[in-house]
């Protein structure tokens, strides 16, 4: 075992965690300095406002506004919304982490996320409400979203496995193809576009609207039950968007950990990532595993989209060809900060979601804006990319210590033969 005989601080896992924590602390410190500099350069921000901004950087999740004043304590809305926003981040982070473990860089998570979105909404809104119970439609939509993401992830996987074309290039192309394909689908069909609320004609119906026949024509009415169950979380975090999707994401994260560390398939995937040619020589089907790895990654991204849009309180804007979903790209820093560990991704996904809540609180409660948190995230991501360097620095102190001289080893100024003779004489 590589950690056998090592203390807790010497283990690779501990160093990875410390490297991530150092990245987080430095990122928050840079954000605080930025708040200080902006406050000092602005005549509209007082010293008290600067102090409030710094405190929000570190504890914005616990903040709220009462009678125009910032108060501190447990805020169920902030916590619930943090868990809700963390759900797609955890799954896109797992998507990137699984690909990393098998030696691939899945920058195609945004496209897989979009394809999962299209399949999920088409199934959830396309099946008549009277045909199947709401929970059954929800399950079909969730599985459909995951399958669509998996199929879209297979494309760069096959290009890499059979043509040896870099998966990053293939993923970038499939991202924009997905964006235009999803836009065309919702624009061409028209049936899923929100016509009930006239001000939201550029959006797709929420999944709580059901397809039903009224006066010989298909229409959408609210209340078909196709939404993620709350399972009591709305009682713990009243007023927030939280639902049981976060529990599904955690279970999937644990499942991915078991798959990658406790199964033969996981071993084969990691073996291909370590050395594709050596794995092939050992009898592992490297091409199959490369495609399978990207399929799993795509399924995770598609599942993240499904859980987000099946919440029942989110609206998808169909004009997506102009940009790609941030949830797909944000999976990259989530995976980097967790050192690609599936369980770590659960926590880093929540942390990144927390920073988005902090940004909103900065905007709502102070004269600052939420873009300061983008700087914090950028610094954390930049340092996470250098996590290996940070781990080396953590190990430097141990390496710099001189090794203790063995009692029987000869001194540098003593001939080896003399030392051997003296040792033989002592034994005699």
Which pLDDT belongs to residue 423? 45
Which pLDDT belongs to residue 23? 81
Angle in degrees, 0-180, between the axes of helices 326-337 and 371-385, rounded to the nearest 10: 50
For the chain, domains (ranges, CATH) are: 83-353 (1.10.3470)
Which pLDDT belongs to residue 382? 77
Q: Which residues pair with 218 in a beta bridge?
A: 213
For residue range 138-149, list pLDDT tens digits in order: 999 999 999 999
Which pLDDT belongs to residue 210? 82
Nearest to 50 by CA among 36, 62, 61: 36
Which pLDDT belongs to residue 381? 75
Cα angle 87, 113, 286; round to 5: 105
Which pLDDT belongs to residue 79? 94
Q: Which stretch of DSSP H or E encloses residue 70?
A: strand 69-72
CA dist., res. 392 & res. 302, Å (int): 36
Q: Which residue has the tokens 């990144």?
A: 352
- Report the half-sphere exposure of 347 (CA within 13 A, side-chain side): 11
Ordered alpha helix ranges (H), 212-367 = 233-236, 245-262, 264-274, 276-281, 286-309, 326-337, 342-365
The list of the chain residues with pLDDT below 70 reads 1-13, 198-199, 216, 385-428
Which pLDDT belongs to residue 425? 47
Q: Six-digit token pair at 411? A: 């001194």
Give the global pTM. 0.86
CA dist., res. 372 & res. 375, Å (int): 5
Taking a C-beta distance cutoff of 8 angstroms, is the pair 314, 180 a contact?
no
Neighbouring CB atoms inside 10 A of 240's CB total 19
Nearest to 99 by CA among 283, 307, 345: 345
Taking a C-beta distance cutoff of 8 angstroms, is the pair 361, 60 a contact?
yes
CA dist., res. 51 & res. 420, Å (int): 70
Angle in degrees, 0-180, between the axes of helices 76-101 and 286-309, rounded to the nearest 10: 170
Residues 25/31/33/37 CA torsion (nearest 10 deg): 180
DSSP state of 5: T
CA dist., res. 117 & res. 178, Å (int): 11
Positive or negative, the CA dihedral 78, 84, 90, 93 is: negative
């Amino acid at each position: 075992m590589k950690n056998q005989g090592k203390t807790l601080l010497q283990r690779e896992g501990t160093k990875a965690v410390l490297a991530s924590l150092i990245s987080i602390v430095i990122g928050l410190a840079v954000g605080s300095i930025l708040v200080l500099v902006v406050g000092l350069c602005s005549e509209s921000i007082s010293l008290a406002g600067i102090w409030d901004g710094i405190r929000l950087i570190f504890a914005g999740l616990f903040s709220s506004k009462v009678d125009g004043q910032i108060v501190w304590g447990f805020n169920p809305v902030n916590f619930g919304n943090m868990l809700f926003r963390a759900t797609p981040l955890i799954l896109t982070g797992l998507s990137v982490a699984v690909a990393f473990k098998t030696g691939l860089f899945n920058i195609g998570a945004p496209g897989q996320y979009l394809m999962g979105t299209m399949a999920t909404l088409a199934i959830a809104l396309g099946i008549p409400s009277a045909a199947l119970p709401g929970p059954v439609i929800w399950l079909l939509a969730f599985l459909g979203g995951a399958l669509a993401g998996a199929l879209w992830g297979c494309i760069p996987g096959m290009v890499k496995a059979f043509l040896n074309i870099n998966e990053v290039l293939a993923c970038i192309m499939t991202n924009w193809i997905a964006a235009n394909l999803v836009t065309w689908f919702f624009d061409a069909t028209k049936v899923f576009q929100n016509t009930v609320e006239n001000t939201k004609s550029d959006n797709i119906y929420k999944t709580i609207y059901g397809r039903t026949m009224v006066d010989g024509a298909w229409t959408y009415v609210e209340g078909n039950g196709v939404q993620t169950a709350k399972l009591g979380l709305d009682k713990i975090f009243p007023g927030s968007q939280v639902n049981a999707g976060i529990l599904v994401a955690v279970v999937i994260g644990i499942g991915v950990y078991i798959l990658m560390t406790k199964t033969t398939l996981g071993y084969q995937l990691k073996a291909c990532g370590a050395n594709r040619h050596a794995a092939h020589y050992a009898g592992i089907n490297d091409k199959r595993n490369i495609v399978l790895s990207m399929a799993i990654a795509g399924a995770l991204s598609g599942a993240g989209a499904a859980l987000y849009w099946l919440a029942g309180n989110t609206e998808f804007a169909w004009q997506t060809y102009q940009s790609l979903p941030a949830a797909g790209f944000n999976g990259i820093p989530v995976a980097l900060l967790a050192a690609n560990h599936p369980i770590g991704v659960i926590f880093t996904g929540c942390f990144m979601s927390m920073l988005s809540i902090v940004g909103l609180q900065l905007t709502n409660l102070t004269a600052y804006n939420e873009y300061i948190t983008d700087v914090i995230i950028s610094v954390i991501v930049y340092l996470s990319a250098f996590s290996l360097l940070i781990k080396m620095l953590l190990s430097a102190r141990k390496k710099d210590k001189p090794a203790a001289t063995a009692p029987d080893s000869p001194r540098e100024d003593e001939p080896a033969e003399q030392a051997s003779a003296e040792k033989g004489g002592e034994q005699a």
